[in-house]
Amino acid sequence: MRALVQRVAEAEVTVAGRSTGRIGPGLLVLVCAMQGDDAAAAEKLVARVTKLRIFRDAADKMNLSVLDIGGAVLVVSQFTLAADTRTGNRPGFSTAAPPGEGERLYLHFAQALRDLGLPVETGEFGADMRVALVNDGPVTIWMDSADRS
């Protein structure tokens, strides 16, 4: 699975003018299931995201995780993270998981965060969403469950 993680002061996702998720300080996580991903890949990514020390401590150093600060997480599905831009000008998305599998893993990812006690809000899988955020820092980190064992 792939994720683009942003430290935010606040973030909100809307679908057709209605809010589906809104958080204060925490993380906005844009997530994409790739072909071949499974529940273990989702859980591995959850572990990495929740331990990522990108929040400031008392000495103003990035030394705390979202768990440490009691932050929230807004999870938004974004299959375009699977974009293949190696040739041409139009990205290909054939490496993304099929929609049914992508949705299952997206929901599993969000639930695994909840199981750790984090407040979690979500977008709506497959919908045309608008995401508004105040990126804090800015801090934006790219993560892929395939990067480490």
Specify the pLDDT at position 149.
Answer: 46
pLDDT of residue 146: 80
Condensed to tens digits (0 to 9), the pLDDT of residues 6-53 reads 999 999 999 999 999 999 999 999 999 999 999 999 999 999 999 999
Beta bridge partners of 85: none
What residue type is assigned to position 49 of the chain? V
β-bridge partners, 18? 15
DSSP 8-state code for residue 66:
H
Residue 80 has pLDDT above 90, yes or no: yes
User: Beta strand pairing status for 55-56 and 72-77?
Assistant: unpaired
CA distances from 122 to 58, 73, 76, 94 (A): 30, 8, 6, 24
Average pLDDT, the chain: 96
Section 111-123 average pLDDT: 98
Distance CA(117)–CA(112), nearest Å, equals 9
What is the rounded distance in angstroms from the CA atom of residue 120 to the CA atom of residue 87? 37
Look up residue 55 and give its two tokens. Answer: 């929040």
Report d(CA 3, CA 119) in Å as an integer.
18
Residue 98, Cβ density class (10 Å: 0-12 exposed, 13-18 middle, ≥19 buried):
exposed
pTM: 0.95
pLDDT > 70: what percent of the chain?
99
pLDDT in tens, 92-101: 999 999 999 9
Comparison of pLDDT for 146 and 139, the residue scoring more: 139
Task: Please name the helix (run of DSSP H) or strand (run of DSSP E) that holds residue 131, with its range, or none.
Answer: strand 129-144
What pLDDT was estimated at residue 145? 86
- Residues catalogued as catalytic: 78-80
Identity at 82, one-letter amino acid code = A
Q: How confident is the model at residue 147 (pLDDT cuts 50, 70, 90)?
A: confident
Task: Fill in the amino acid letter for 140.
Answer: T
Q: Going from the N-terminus, what domains does the chain have, and what CATH number goes with each?
A: 2-147 (3.50.80.10)
Other Cβ atoms less than 10 A from the Cβ of 19: the count is: 12
Q: What percent of the chain shows pLDDT beyond 90?
A: 95
Stretch 96-118: mean pLDDT:
97
pLDDT of 83 over the 70 cut: yes
